[in-house]
Chains A and B, each alone.
Chain A
Amino acid sequence: MNEPINFHFKVDGSNFISAGEASVNVKKLLRQVGIAPDIIKRVSIAMYEGEINMVIHANGGTADVNVYPDKIQIILEDVGPGIPDIDQAMQEGFSTAQDNVRSLGFGAGMGLPNMKKYTDMMKIESEVGKGTKVTMEVNIP
């Protein structure tokens, strides 16, 4: 099995205004390794939503993007508060974001639904008080 190409990022949890930097970089890097534009869009938006969630809720974390011949895998990990009820969090419109975040246009409760919509596989592992790990995959046809 081929070793994937790995891109690793630290997501800064303190700077909301520059949040999303890793995802915008991933878009550029994936273009350089020759991934099709529609796949790049799906990967980078799913990752951006996850990155924003880590900044809003978990004071940052890490993001890994692994490029395999047949798929792109995104792994987001944080040591934040965890998600008590994942089914509820997955519902469109459900959000626990604060007002200051909402005033910037976030917190619409569409982040996790978008991540699911744009990926072929999404798995959330979360423990309250410990943190959250989100694994997503987009298949390369």
Chain B
Amino acid sequence: MDIITLQNKLGLKALNISDPTREVHGGYCGDLLSWVMGRATDEDAWITIMTNNNIIAVASLADVPCIIICEGCEVDDELLNLTRDKGINLLVSEDSEFTVAGKLYGLLNN
């Protein structure tokens, strides 16, 4: 599933789309950065509530197709600029991590 389809189906707000062609075939939920780097693949949407600058380096190194920030957590301008610099797709949901993961799981497995 491409990023734009994901955005529409999950009702996400796109804060930065640098590469709309990235494909999502799975997901990884987590707020502990080393777990994400150890486990997330380059086909997993990263579902998190973390919004500090370090998430951009982690997303870049793990090469995830996008970050989905949950609970409508606020993203500051500095983070937004970093997503553009590093070419990271960043989306926001008002839902909890549980709900986003559940919806995504349903989408990918139906």
Q: Is A111's CB under 8 angstroms from B62's CB?
A: no
Q: Given that A104-B52, A105-B54 are known contacts, is A114 also in contact with B62, CB under 8 Å in the complex? A: no
Return B84 CB to nearest CB of chain A, in Å: 14
- Given A45-B62, A110-B34, A113-B38, verify A105-B57 contact (CB < 8 Å): no
Q: What secondary structure prevails in chain B residues at the interface with A?
A: helix
| Shortest beta-carbon distance from B95 to chain A in Å | 20
Residue of B nearest to A44 (CB): B61
Scan B47-80; emit 1 where CB is below 8 A from any A CB, else 0.
0001011110110111100000000000000000
Contacts of A24 in B (CB 8 A): 57, 60-61, 86
Q: Taking the complex as formed, is A108 at the interface, i.e. its CB lies under 8 A from any CB of chain B?
A: yes
Interface size for B (C-beta < 8 A) is 20
State how many angstroms separate the Cβ of A129 from the closest Cβ of chain B.
27
Residues in B with CB closer than 8 Å to A108 are 32-35
A49–B58 alpha-carbon span in the complex (Å):
10
B37 at the interface (CB under 8 A from A): yes
Given contact pairs A49-B37, A108-B33, A114-B34, A23 touches B61 in the complex (Cβ within 8 A): yes
Contacting residues of chain A (33-50) with chain B, CB-CB under 8 angstroms: 37, 41, 44-45, 48-49
Q: How many residues of A contact B (CB 8 A)?
A: 24
Q: Is the CB of A27 within 8 A of B61?
A: yes
B34 near A111: Cβ-Cβ < 8 Å: yes
Q: Tell me if A20 counts as interface (CB < 8 A to partner B).
A: yes
Q: A residues within 8 Å of B by Cβ?
A: 17-21, 23-24, 27, 37, 41, 44-45, 48-49, 104-106, 108-111, 113-114, 117
